[in-house]
A and B are shown apart, each in its own frame.
Chain A
Amino acid sequence: MKRIALALLVLGTFSALVLTALNKNSSDTPPLTKLKEQYATKPKPSVDHSLFPELKKKFKRPHDVTAACISCHNGRAEEVMHSSHWQWERTEYIAGKGIRNVGKRNILNNFCIGVQSNEQSCTRCHVGYGYANNKAYFADSLDVDCLACHDNSGTYAKMNEGAGMPDASVNLSYAAQHVGIPTRANCGACHFFGGGGNNVKHGDLEEAIFDPARDIDVHMATDGVNMQCVDCHTAKNHQMLGKMYSVSSMNRNRVQCESCHGPMPHKDDVLNNHTLKIACQTCHIPEYAKVNPTKLFWDWSKAGRLKNGRPYELKDSNGTDVYMSIKGSFKWGKDLKPNYLWFNGTATHYLLGDKFDPSKPLDINRLMGSYDDPDSKIYPVKVHTAEQIYDTKNDYLIQPKLYSAKKGDGGFWGDFNWQTSATAGMRAVGLPYSGHYGFTETKMYWPINHMVAPKEKAVGCGECHTRSDGRLADVGGFYMPGRDYNPWVERFGFGLMALTLAGVFMHGGARIVVNRKRKRSR
């Protein structure tokens, strides 16, 4: 007995030693606390702009503010004019389409569809004043809107349907004296409201992010590290890091979790192994649209219904729009589990004029990737589906004119007539319109990157490694333990077990019977 105990002891210590040795090769990246310390110290402005005489005057036009800014910040406006915030397009390589200028002139989406012919409304979010669709507009540096991003007073706002001009209520002098590094308020003013309302487009970027709790977003939490957008979306010469795959195609200029957290940030090696094929976001953003709903389905074909000749709106019990005459009917979702797909950082886009097969849903932006592609990881995405207008003879999507300055100009929001809207829109983009329109199903894929949860709330192992209804149930191309099995191996295995058991019972039963007979015969 003593020796057995001794042997057990030796075996136990040995196991413990080996296990600790194995556990040691975990991460040696900078620990989380260092990052927290780094971002807890907020930058202080080196100068007080309210003391500068250049800014202590009454500005008649916003362009005069820009002139005042660049009288010191020489050359900065030109930097902005090279940015995608100004250009609204990029030169991209798209697989199958080659090198294209992708953006304002040829990108459509399945929300408010496209910029052209709607500039007056859409360009409220352009970093310029008085965006017009002519080349001359983009040439004047005084049109750059410095305040949209740099106003720290919280008083600056752009006019609705004002082509990027500031709202009449804005005190330009006050805003100009309170400038600084962009905050969430600056970025969010546009990026939280894309698609015509709060959280319509992204699902993970919405007004709750102005002042989020730690549970909503662990990085931007005002009760936590309180990081600003530009802490991750850093900029050099006004070229911001990061972009969205609704409008960009190439695997470049991305913001990566790994740049701060390192490629293998977990203490547990099993988790670190996952980082080769699973994006951080997949486990660390278990849910999006955590505070307000995001739009999941937009049916343009229902738009245009009027009551007594007037447009109307319907809201659900939570106050969310479910029908608008100008836009159609919607479905929203809150506290959503993302969809998941393989993504290698490249995307293809439907470009204006591309023919498609209307019998199938059309992917307006398709995220590329597969298990076998070493650049691919599984990412969380929001899928937005729509029924949107297309030319049934030419088999391409229609750019409708939606914004209406006055009745009769073709704008759908004034005339509620798809025919004139399509005609006006297609004239503006310079494509033929057959005169026949219909509605077709389209899909957009929006990677989810924000609303990172505290680590205690990260997705658990069993939510994917499970036979049924796992988060990754539809993500194919590979064998995942706990989810996958080979039906033949199962059949063979259980068959063999059954046969063995049957053999045991038959053999054992026969022995018992024979023994009894023998005893009786004695």
Chain B
Amino acid sequence: MRKEYIYHRFERFWHWMQAAVIIFLGVTGFEIHGSFTFFGYEQAVEYHDIAAWSFIMLIVLAIFWHITKGEWRQYLPTWKNLKAQANYYIFGIFRNAPHPTKKTVLTKLNPLQKLVYAGLKVLLIPTMVLTGLVYMFYRYPQQNEVLSLNISGLQTVALLHTLGAFLLVSFFVAHLYLITTGHTVTSNLRAMITGYEDLHDETTNVARESAPTASDKIAAETKEVTQ
């Protein structure tokens, strides 16, 4: 058995902060939605706003990190091995077949993950952030001059925000489960905590052939430059 470094320190910090903030947003958000009462409406709104700003700040940090590090390329969706990965979850996992892709610090996401996370980052999260900001800053149309967003009602914004929240809850459920589908039940979780993942030697080397990723290229380029 050997250990492979998968997640940078920032990534782990980002992941866990994000997890906490999103769970908190979910709890306060669904309270505001009227699904249950816990903090009380006024507190829920106040906390939700604070959490929202923390989340936005976290996103800004994460975008900065991903751009400067070039890590955003990790999320570029690829067709390659997509079917193999899907097949693995449908059949292979039950036959104790090896993961079709190998996780390294250079390609930490499998093709299915790339697809889902890209959707999350390009569609769902921006939708939630934008509808959330409109929610915070809109003004009803009125005659006094108020330099803010004038929209005639919250309905559309609120429905989109709610729809997004339901999608995130479903993602959260699936995500919690898929954590257990690593080499061992806990190896993914451990990797996100320590940064290192235990790799069994028997693992076949499929991923290596799979995609010289963008990060690989960058790594190569930086080498060239430094040389």
Contact = CB atoms under 8 A, between A and B. Distances in A.
A235 interface: no
A461 B61 CA distance: 34
A19 B51 CA distance: 11
Interface in A450-480: 460-462, 465-467, 478-480
Given A11-B61, A19-B50, A504-B173, A461 B41 contact: yes
Contacts of A374: 140-143
Interface residues of A, number: 50
A15 B177 contact: no
Nearest to B135: A481
B174 A500 contact: yes
A460 B42 contact: yes
Interface string B163-204: 101110110011011001000000000000000000000000
Contacts of A508: 177, 180
Nearest to A1: B9
A261 interface: no
Nearest to A375: B143
A378 B174 CA distance: 44
B58 A270 contact: no
A7 B167 CA distance: 29
B130 interface: no
Interface in B105-129: none
A465 B41 contact: yes
A365 to B, nearest CB: 26
Contact of B174 (A8, A19, A504): A504
A11 B163 contact: no
B226 interface: no
A334 interface: no
B214 interface: no
Interface string B129-169: 00000000001111110000000111100110011011101
- Chain B binding site: helix, strand, loop or mixed by DSSP? helix
Interface in A479-522: 479-486, 489, 492-494, 496-497, 499-501, 503-504, 507-508, 510-511, 514, 518
A4 B9 contact: yes
A18 interface: yes
A263 interface: yes
Given A11-B54, A276-B140, A504-B174, A482 B32 contact: yes
B93 interface: yes
Contacts of A518: 96
Contacts of B176: 504
* B9, B32, B143, B158 — most chain A CB neighbours (10 Å): B158
A481 B158 contact: yes
B76 interface: no
Nearest to A7: B13
Nearest to B10: A7
Contacts of A178: none
Contacts of B167: 496
Interface of B: 9-10, 13, 17, 32-34, 37, 40-42, 45, 50, 53-54, 57-58, 61, 89, 93-96, 139-144, 152-155, 158-159, 162-163, 165-167, 169-170, 173-174, 176-177, 180
Given A460-B42, A479-B155, A481-B32, 18 more contacts: A11-B58, A374-B142, A462-B40, A462-B41, A462-B42, A479-B153, A482-B33, A484-B158, A486-B159, A486-B162, A489-B159, A489-B162, A496-B166, A497-B169, A499-B170, A501-B173, A504-B177, A511-B94
12 contacts: A11-B54, A15-B53, A273-B139, A371-B153, A466-B34, A481-B32, A489-B166, A494-B166, A497-B173, A500-B173, A508-B180, A511-B94
